[in-house]
Amino acid sequence: MKKLLTIVGARPQFIKASAVSRVLASEYGGRVEELVLHTGQHHDASLSAVFFEELGLAEPRFRLTLSSDAPVPRMGEMLCGIEQVLGSYRFDAVLVYGDTDSTLAGALAAAKSRVPLIHVEAGLRSYDRTQPEEQNRVVVDHLSQVLNCPTEESVRNLQREGVGGRIIRTGDIMLDNALHFLPIARQRKEEWWRALGIKDGPFVLATVHRACNTDSPDRLADIMRSLLTLSETVPVVLPLHPRTRKAIENVTENSLQHRFAHCSAIRLLPPVSYLELLLLLDRCSVVVTDSGGVQKEAYFLRRPSVVLRDATEWVDNVRQGVSSLADAVPGVIVSQVRRFLDHAPSEGSYQPLYGNGHAAEELLSALDL
């Protein structure tokens, strides 16, 4: 029996890992044992527990307790905790997902403990090394023995960098999830949707949580102003990440804070569950986001997106003309959203770049488990 350690710690990883765990449980039950380690990076129930319940993830076998939220001490604690687990069991491989600090901690601990490392969602590059996620991606890719790439572009990036690991190109596991869970979301979340009371008609779905926006009160204020301007003509729904809710309190312009909190056309929600987020994507007209995952999910559900960053790792979406980089510039954000509202991209603009929804199966069968 092979033993795999899946390391997760942040919201997008619970979602990504569920695609692989589903296939491991249904098709590899007698051959592979998957144990899950939760690093504790996201401990808030709305960013963690809700996903375990909703996505049917196994209760983590190992759970770290972190005493700090600051990136460097937290990284040290994660490394020590993961190394201890790796030293106590014999694992055939470690699986890490995406580009968070938990991904980097898992990768470093696996490398130091000499356990083969599989990086799922490898090869993405925004080419902005100031971004914490980009730093994590680059280091993890160079430490991995197996690199699971979701797009042609990600394969090319790795080839250019000359990584040493084996590249396995499949589709994107997040598409597996979107296709699997969208019909479930439409069924299970209808009542939730009706209770929200959002009127029929177009609306903008916004998510903001990246450090580049939440750590800069000026950028955040510009984003808030843009959403206020948009809300004059189209309702905006904004599930607020706890970090963003806190950051809004640091915006010095009190009147802006007040207008934002009391604007009836901006619907502020607590962070929503994955099924709820899928339903919002399904029903909205345009997405405004700084999230990597939400950019892709918007594409899967054929919704144009305006990205609140000056670079993205999902460059294909921009090349297809269905995603546009607006950074945090109010005039650009507002004009790009309005352009997409007036002229929705055609169905043909969404080329099938991310596979056929069976990426997890393809990856596991390439691994020869």
241 is catalytic: no
Amino acid symbol at 140 = V
Tokens for 311, please give them. Answer: 């670079």
**Interacting residue with ligand UDP among 4, 5, 7, 15 (CB under 6 A):** 15
> Judged by CB under 6 A, how many residues of this single chain contact ligand UDP?
16
Question: In angstroms, what is the minimal distance from the CB of 346 to ligand UDP?
Answer: 24
Question: In angstroms, what is the minimal distance from the CB of 15 to ligand UDP?
Answer: 4
User: What is the SS3 string spanning 25-84?
Assistant: HHHCCCCEEEEEEECCCCCCHHHCHHHHHHCCCCCCCEECCCCCCCHHHHHHHHHHHHHH
Looking at 149-157, 247-255, 270-278, 308-316, which segment touches ligand UDP (CB under 6 A)? 270-278
Q: Do 312 and 298 meet the contact criterion of CB atoms below 8 Å apart?
A: no
Rank residues 210 and 225 by Cβ distance to ligand UDP and give the closer one: 210
The set of residues, in sequence order, having a beta carbon less than 8 Å from that of 308 and lying 6+ positions away, is 208, 210, 213, 223, 288, 289, 290, 326, 327, 328, 333
Rank residues 122 and 294 by Cβ distance to ligand UDP and give the closer one: 294
**Interacting residue with ligand UDP among 150, 271, 304, 355 (CB under 6 A):** 271
Question: In angstroms, what is the minimal distance from the CB of 88 to ligand UDP?
Answer: 30
**Interacting residue with ligand UDP among 36, 185, 277, 363 (CB under 6 A):** 277
Question: In angstroms, what is the minimal distance from the CB of 270 to ligand UDP?
Answer: 8
Task: Decide: is 312 part of the binding site for ligand UDP (CB under 6 A).
Answer: no
Count CB atoms within 10 A of the CB of residue 199: 7
Task: Decide: is 60 part of the binding site for ligand UDP (CB under 6 A).
Answer: no
- Of the candidates 43, 209, 262, 343, the residue annotated as catalytic is 209
**Interacting residue with ligand UDP among 294, 308, 315, 363 (CB under 6 A):** 294
Measured distance CA(128)–CA(133) in Å, rounded: 9
Task: Decide: is 297 part of the binding site for ligand UDP (CB under 6 A).
Answer: yes
Looking at 76-84, 134-142, 273-281, 359-367, which segment touches ligand UDP (CB under 6 A)? 273-281
Rank residues 81 and 292 by Cβ distance to ligand UDP and give the closer one: 292
Rank residues 138 and 277 by Cβ distance to ligand UDP and give the closer one: 277
Write each residue from 209 to 248 as x if it is in contact with ligand UDP (CB under 6 A), else as -, in one continuous string: x-----------------------------x---------
**Interacting residue with ligand UDP among 5, 6, 12, 316 (CB under 6 A):** 12
Judged by the rule CB under 6 A, the positions of this chain that interact with ligand UDP are 11-12, 15, 207, 209, 239, 271-274, 277, 291-294, 297
Active site residues: 209
